[in-house]
Structure 1
């Protein structure tokens, strides 16, 4: 696994951990994270839409996605997939771009998927944030995304 370029603050304080239980099979939840037709449906806070101009979900593969806000602003994020282990684990880098397309501080996202009686226990970890405000903002955005993912999964789950 590749380490981030950020200096490592105190463990835990600059990390984001979210756990969710989805009423959908693990394979489907994993595909929702790794297939373009699903990734256009749930990422981003409520009211946002998502489009990608690059997507290669394989180890070493690059992605670049735009989250379109309801107010018309665009928020570009990019990264590289470090680990892809269907249907159990994803690890990728995450960096927002500035107005010129330059990446900002990079974090590492690790998502694991565990079968729980036909449901999926998802554990999400993102680190290391440079500020607590950044961690908290990401927490709010990811939780709204996961609310949208839950709704989407109920629409497509068998």
Structure 2
């Protein structure tokens, strides 16, 4: 028996493109400055999340294999348990992370942040690959992942540009 998020045994995996959300933003700051905004909880707490959200951190270890365990507080008062494991950190070009509600979350998703120099600016690309298309669709339709991702990158831009 499988749950609604796990493909049946023997089923062909869904194409990655069908499970992916990509959000981009051009930030008016050097790549090293933008990258640094990910490296400490003080920076992340200042900009992480969509409009109206704040974070409370319980654990933060920015290194490959380290974790960030925190709660996102929604503008409506709802709290969301969050867990991130830093999988790859390649300063100042790339950060790869696994993001779920807790360690071992079967619905956790992979996200890759890339930082590309564009003159004096930095193009930040967030590419998120969900385990299934259904999880991607739920994130987009119910949780407004594209809009939330764009708002989060706007907060990052405001943080490093200010």
4+ long deviations beyond 3 Å = 5-8, 101-104
Paired residue total? 148
Larger radius of gyration: 2
Q: Deviations over 1:33-90 (max 9, x none)?
A: 2221110111111111112111111111111121111222111111211101111110
TM-score after normalising by structure 1: 0.84
5+ residue gaps, structure 2, are 8-12
| Residue 10 of structure 1, CA deviation | 2.4
- Aligned partners of 1:19, 1:45: CA distance in 2, in Å? 15
**Residue equivalent to 1:59:** 64
1:89 aligns with 2:94: yes
Deviates further, 142-151 or 131-140: 131-140
Q: Which of 125, 142, 145 is the equivalent residue of 2:152?
A: 145
TM-score after normalising by structure 2: 0.82
Superposition RMSD in Å:
2.1
Q: Deviations over 1:80-115 (max 9, x none)?
A: 111011111100100125xxx983501111111111
**Residue equivalent to 1:22:** 27
